[in-house]
């Protein structure tokens, strides 16, 4: 079976990623602040905790 892999893209060296918690609605926001519209949100109740990532 062949995968749907794509060629890796070039990564800019000056990217900066930040995370924030929004209170209303309760969401975790992760954003690349060096690129316009490069962010994702997830409901805080569904976000993985740091201990779950270890």
**Rounded mean pLDDT, 28-47:** 90
pLDDT for 34 = 86
3 state SS for 5-53: CCCCCCCCCCCCEEEEEECCCCEEEEEECCCCCCEEEEEHHHCCCHHHH
Work out the pLDDT band at 18, boundaries 50, 70, 90: very high
Q: Rounded distance, CA 8 to CA 26, Å?
A: 34
- Tens-digit pLDDT profile for residues 29-38: 999 988 889 9
Q: By percentage, how much of the chain surpasses pLDDT 90?
A: 39
């Amino acid at each position: 079976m062949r995968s749907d892999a794509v060629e890796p893209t070039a990564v800019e060296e000056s990217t900066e990623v930040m995370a924030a918690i929004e209170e209303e609605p309760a969401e975790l926001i992760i954003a690349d602040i060096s690129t316009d519209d490069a962010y994702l949100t997830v409901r805080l109740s569904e976000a993985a905790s740091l201990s779950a990532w270890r």
